[in-house]
Structures are given as structure tokens and as C-alpha cells.
Amino acid sequence: MLADGLLFIDSALLDDKNMPGATLGIRRAQSPHRKQYKLKSAVFSHNGILKQYTKYFIDSNGMPFIYEKTKLLKLSYLPIKKVIQKDVASLLYVKGCKSPFTIPRPPEQGMTWAGILHLNGFPWMLYEYSDKKLKDTHRKV
């Protein structure tokens, strides 16, 4: 419920648009309202949204949105060929994919397989890592 610049969920404050600040976090920290809705987790990527069980989200600017999963995509596990570390990211090369995936950090030691989502038959998004080849399956996105 939105009233007078205040966004509430279950009578707890989610965002206070009356406070100065460009982001949700800054406004929440400055708000005089003490009963604030507890944000359980932060999602930093599209991949993170796909792994959530909820369909309700709020972005860092304080804009609530609904993400409904509507499409079923193939998830296949392919061997990781190599990882090249760059200054602010890494490049992940996977067998069967022509282009590398840009990742924020290299996979943990021992993770030698990459779960790749395929859109229209083409590798689209890195979904997860695995230490062994898992059975190919599907995910709703």
C-alpha cells in the first residue's frame, strides 16, 4: 500500500519516498519509521531472480515489480574449458559455446561443470556451477 510517499507491506514500512536519497537503502536508513519490513535477500543479477521462489521484487530505486516465470528452458551441464581473470570480471569458456560468459568472479575450486540455460536452442545464460555432470533438465524462467 502506498500512502503519502510511504510504501507499506503488512503495516511495516518498505520505502519512505519522503526521505532524500536516490536508492531504497539510503531512504530506509534515514527514515524515522522504526517498524520496517525486513528485506530477506538481495538479488544482483537476472540469474538471481530466476532462482527465487517469489514473484514479488523491489529494485534499488524503490520501484516494486512482479516477475512471472512463463517459459520453460533447457538446462544442460557442459564442461568448463577455461577461465580467464580480468581486472573487474572473468571470462568463462564452456565447451559447446562460441562466446564466453562474463562472470563477476571465477567459480570455486573444483567446479568443473557449468549449467547453461538455452533459449531457442542457443546457450543463453549461466545458471549454476557443479563439481560433476548433472542430468540435463528444464527450468521455468
* 109: Cβ contacts below 8 Å, ≥ 6 apart: none
Residue with cell 540469474: 47
C-alpha triplet 132, 104, 23: angle, nearest 5°: 130
The number of C-alpha atoms within 13 Å of 100 and in the hemisphere containing its C-beta is: 16
The 10 Å Cβ neighbour count of residue 42 is 8
| Residue 1 predicted with pLDDT over 90 | no
Q: What global pTM score does this model have?
A: 0.82
Domain ranges across the chain:
2-66, 72-140
**Strand residue runs (E) in the chain:** 2-3, 6-9, 12-16, 56-58, 64-66, 72-85, 90-94, 101-103, 113-119, 122-130, 137-140
Contact 64, 29 (CB under 8 A): no
The position carrying cell 562466446 is 99
* pLDDT tens column, 39-83: 988 998 899 999 999 999 999 999 999 999 999 999 999 999 999
Model confidence pLDDT, tens digit, residues 125-140 = 999 999 999 999 999 9
Per-residue pLDDT of 78-114, as tens digits, reads 999 999 999 999 999 999 999 999 999 999 999 999 9
